[in-house]
């Protein structure tokens, strides 16, 4: 089962996901990235310009989800 990491960054500040999580398929991991972005978008803090970078177990970025583009 592939492991994915969900790092939150704006290009200057980065919050690394050091643990990651296992997902059966890419679609499952992408759904998790969308969930993280939606959760952060609903937070009282603003995340302008931040994204969730989805990275596979080999360190390759496989998706980006903008946080400020998610409906609250």
What range defines the domain where residue 35 resides?
A: 3-66
The torsion region of residue 25 among left (phi > 0), alpha (psi -120 to 50) and beta comes to: beta
Q: Is residue 72 part of a domain?
A: no
Q: Is residue 62 part of a domain?
A: yes
3-state helix, strand, coil in the chain (%, to 5): 20, 30, 45
Domain count, the chain: 1
- pLDDT at position 69 is 58
Does the residue 71 lie in any domain? no
How much is the pTM? 0.88
- Per-residue pLDDT reduced to its tens digit, 11-63: 999 999 999 999 999 999 999 999 999 999 887 777 888 999 999 999 999 99
């Amino acid at each position: 089962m592939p492991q994915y990491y969900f790092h939150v960054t704006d290009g200057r500040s980065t919050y690394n996901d050091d643990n990651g999580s296992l997902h059966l398929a890419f679609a499952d991991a992408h759904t998790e990235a969308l969930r993280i972005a939606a959760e952060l978008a609903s937070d009282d803090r603003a995340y302008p310009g931040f994204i969730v970078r989805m990275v596979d177990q080999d360190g390759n970025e496989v998706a980006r989800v903008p946080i400020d583009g998610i409906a609250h």
